[in-house]
């Protein structure tokens, strides 16, 4: 029996109430597909995007990144970096170490930076801070 309460009848004709159940089922399916998010809906959203549940969903994942994220303000808890090694000494950062950023590239509207140990920056003569 189907979710509409219909059974397979082979070549027997459907009774009117069975046809009505089929039409009702198609209407339910159409409403469902009309409400689902389509690719075109995501190209330019005229609204906020809010996850259904806090601390549950991700945008991207390890190894699968968005190329660029543009935002005026970013409000966050912890900040994570994929650069886990100091750009000056090559050692991996350890918990409790102080880091700063060195500007690698100056674009017209942004800078690109890398994290380094504070001690390495001082050792290499960075004293602009
Ligand atoms: Zn270092």
Tell how far the Cα of 81 is from the centroid of ligand 1, in angstroms: 15
**pLDDT attached to residue 129:** 61
Say what the pTM is. Answer: 0.58
**pLDDT attached to residue 117:** 97
Tell how far the Cα of 84 is from the centroid of ligand 1, in angstroms: 11
Separation CA 75–CA 124 (nearest Å): 32
**pLDDT attached to residue 54:** 93
Tell how far the Cα of 21 is from the centroid of ligand 1, in angstroms: 70
Tell how far the Cα of 53 is from the centroid of ligand 1, in angstroms: 39
Residue 25 and residue 17 in contact, taking contact as beta carbons nearer than 8 Å: no
Q: Which of 118, 125, 61, 63 is nearest to 94 (CA)?
A: 118
Tell how far the Cα of 8 is from the centroid of ligand 1, in angstroms: 71
Mean pLDDT in consecutive groups of 10 residues from the start of the chain, 129 residues:
78 87 87 76 86 92 91 90 95 97 92 95 85
**pLDDT attached to residue 96:** 97
CA count, 13 A, side-chain hemisphere, 76:
6
Tell how far the Cα of 127 is from the centroid of ligand 1, in angstroms: 15
Tell how far the Cα of 98 is from the centroid of ligand 1, in angstroms: 10
Tell how far the Cα of 82 is from the centroid of ligand 1, in angstroms: 16
């Amino acid at each position: 029996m189907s979710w509409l309460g219909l059974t397979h009848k082979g070549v027997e004709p459907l009774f009117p109430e069975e046809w009505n159940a089929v039409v009702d089922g198609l209407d339910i399916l159409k409403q469902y597909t009309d409400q689902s998010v389509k690719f075109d809906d995501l190209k330019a959203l005229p609204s906020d995007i809010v996850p259904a549940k806090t601390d549950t969903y991700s945008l991207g994942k390890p190894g699968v990144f968005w190329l660029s994220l543009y935002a005026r303000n970013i409000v966050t808890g912890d900040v994570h970096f994929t650069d886990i090694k100091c750009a000056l000494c090559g050692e991996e950062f350890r918990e409790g170490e102080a880091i700063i950023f060195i500007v690698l590239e100056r674009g017209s509207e942004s800078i690109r930076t890398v994290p380094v140990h504070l001690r390495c920056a001082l050792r290499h003569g960075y004293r602009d801070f």
